[in-house]
Amino acid sequence: MTDTTMMQIPGELLPRDGRFGSGPSKVRPEALSALQDISTSYLGTSHRQSTVKDVVGRLREGLRELFSLPEGYEVVLGNGGATQFWDIATFSLIKERSQHLSFGEFSSKFASAASAAPHLLSPDIIKSEPGGHPELRVDASIDLYALTHNETSTGVMMAIERPGGTEALVVVDATSGAGGLSVDPQNFDCYYFSPQKCFASEGGLWMALMSPKALARVREIKESGRYMPATLDLSIAVDNSLLNQTYNTPALATVFLTVHQTEWFLENGGLKFSTSRCNESSEILYGWADSSSYATPFVKEIDSRSKVVGTIDFDPSIDALKVAKTLRANGVVDVEPYRKLGRNQIRVAMFPAIEPSDVEQLTKSIDYVVKSGI
Ligand SMILES: *Cc1c(COP(=O)(O)O)cnc(C)c1O
């Protein structure tokens, strides 16, 4: 057996930037140079002073504009990423009973957090097999519907629509979808995400776009006297966010990189621009897989095929992990499948920072590796 990890992919087939991971994901070099430019006046300065508060303000303003938030919606942020936000929602947004659409690793985790909470009723968990998504079922006992815009572990996206016949909150994990998929804010009450995916920044932060109804729910639960640790108390995060601060110290570099990406989107046409890059990349990836003799899109339903994270099954005769390993040895990284899915597939991030032309080069590199006989 030849050692395929030593295989050299010709330079003209390689992507210019080899980062295709689904998070942390490619950070644009332009954002890093901009960070370098302000490194001595911004990094290492107090997050309670105007230098940093102004940047947090730019982030909140930028997200408001990017998502065309209606009057009364607020941009709230805090530390701990989307995973922390599940616990926050469990304490501060679910009144009694939530319903969760569970169709992969991430969506199942919020459901688990709600199930384990002693102060809540047992949630309604509607599950479907990886590769698709379930539909929500309106039920009078539910006060919060937990949706996931893009299930990053399987590459399934779902349209965000507000269900009729209910006043319950619609709360959306948009961690890998926000900025890459279009959404109408009228259809959600809380749209939360971490910035290390479409926002091409680092992890550790969460942002939530919250409707007046969600903000009122936070107050209502707080006033009910429910015990909640301060870091899970969304009312504290809301109060701090309105002052362009966070409850405790945020990573300033992360905040800045997120602002930079947001403003890059806005300067180029906003969500239309950012989503069009994902559309273009996904057409390239799925188009290649559809016409390939050995690759097939994992998600059968075309409308559910994610435009931000593509999952591509390989014929059993080709070892996807070996292909990924060979690519890695050539500087093209993180196309390994989601570890727990256990399929012979690759997973490719197509976030806005990633050049569609690099996705095209990636497909050429894969073809080269496979044709060279792996
Ligand atoms: C990455 C991801 C998360 C977890 O985000 P963290 O910042 O690591 O907490 C949650 N949900 C989805 C859909 C994700 O893609």
For position 3, what pLDDT does the model report?
Answer: 58
Query: What mean pLDDT do residues 191-197 have?
Result: 98
What's the pLDDT score for residue 374? 75
Give residue 6's pLDDT band: very low, low, confident or very high (50, 70, 90). confident
Q: Are 192 and 82 in contact (CB under 8 A)?
A: yes
- Tell me what the pLDDT averaged over the chain comes to: 97
> Do 316 and 240 fall within a single domain?
no
pLDDT digits (tens, 9 = 90+) for 119-156: 999 999 999 999 999 999 999 999 999 999 999 999 99
pLDDT for position 113: 98
Out of 239, 267, 295, pick the residue that ends a domain.
267
Distance of CA 57 to the CA centre of its chain: 22
Domain endpoint, select from 267, 300, 324: 267
The string of pLDDT tens digits covering residues 205-227 is: 999 999 999 999 999 999 999 99
Residue 288: which domain range? 16-27+270-371
Total of domains in the chain:
2
Which tens digits make up the pLDDT trace of 309-323? 999 999 999 999 999
Residue 46 predicted with pLDDT over 90: yes
Predicted local distance difference test score (pLDDT) of residue 5:
53
Task: Look at residue 256 and tell me whether its pLDDT is greater than 70.
Answer: yes
Task: Tell me, in angstroms, the distance from the centre of ligand 1 to residue 49's CA.
Answer: 30
- 23 and 33 inside one domain: no
Mean pLDDT of 165-172: 98
Q: Do 51 and 163 fall into the same domain?
A: yes
Q: What integer pLDDT is reported at residue 1 of this predicted model?
A: 44
Other CB atoms within 10 A of residue 235 CB: 16
Output the pLDDT for position 221. Answer: 98
Give 18-72 as a 3 state SS string.
Answer: CECCCCCCCCCHHHHHHHHHCCCCCCCCCCCCHHHHHHHHHHHHHHHHHCCCCCC
Q: Is the pLDDT confidence value at 181 over 80?
A: yes
Whole-number Å distance, alpha carbon 107 to ligand 1 midpoint, is 9
With a 6 A CB cut-off, is 173 part of the ligand 1 pocket?
Answer: yes
Task: Choose the final residue of a domain: 237, 267, 297.
Answer: 267
Q: Are 235 and 359 in a shared domain?
A: no
Q: How far, in Å, from the CA of 102 to the mean position of ligand 1?
A: 14
Q: Whose CA is nearest to atom 5 of ligand 1?
A: 82
Tell me, what's the pLDDT at 70? Answer: 98
| 325 shares its domain with 335 | yes
> Ligand 1 atom closest to Cα of 309?
15
Same domain, 249 and 305: no
Query: Which pLDDT belongs to residue 119?
Result: 98
Please tell me if the CB atom of residue 148 comes closer than 6 angstroms to any atom of ligand 1. yes
- On whether both 165 and 290 belong to a single domain, the answer is no
Q: What is the pLDDT of residues 22-45, one digit of tens each?
A: 999 999 999 999 999 999 999 999
Q: Per the structure block, which two tokens stand in for 121?
A: 């009723």
Q: How far apart are CA 297 and CA 288, in angstroms?
A: 9
Determine, yes or no, domain membership for 347.
yes
Using one digit for the tens of pLDDT, what is the confidence trace for 68-95? 999 999 999 999 999 999 999 999 999 9
Question: Does residue 54 belong to any structural domain of this protein?
Answer: yes
**What are the strands, taking DSSP E only, across the chain?**
74-79, 98-102, 124-127, 144-148, 150-151, 156-157, 169-173, 190-193, 205-210, 295-297, 309-314, 345-349
CA distances from 185 to 161, 172, 290 (A): 10, 11, 33
Locate the DSSP E strands across 246-366.
295-297, 309-314, 345-349
Q: How far is the CA of 292 from the centre of ligand 1 (A)?
A: 31
Q: What is the CATH number of the domain that holds 350?
A: 3.90.1150.10
Q: Provide the sign of the torsion angle of the four alpha carbons 72, 73, 79, 82, taken in this order.
A: positive
Q: Kindly report whether the global pTM for this prediction surpasses the value 0.75.
A: yes
Average pLDDT over residues 38-59: 96
Same-domain check for residues 248 and 284: no
The minimum-distance atom of ligand 1 relative to the CA of 177 is: 13
CATH number of the domain encompassing residue 166: 3.40.640.10
Q: Which residues pair with 296 in a beta bridge?
A: 313
User: pLDDT at position 68, please?
Assistant: 98
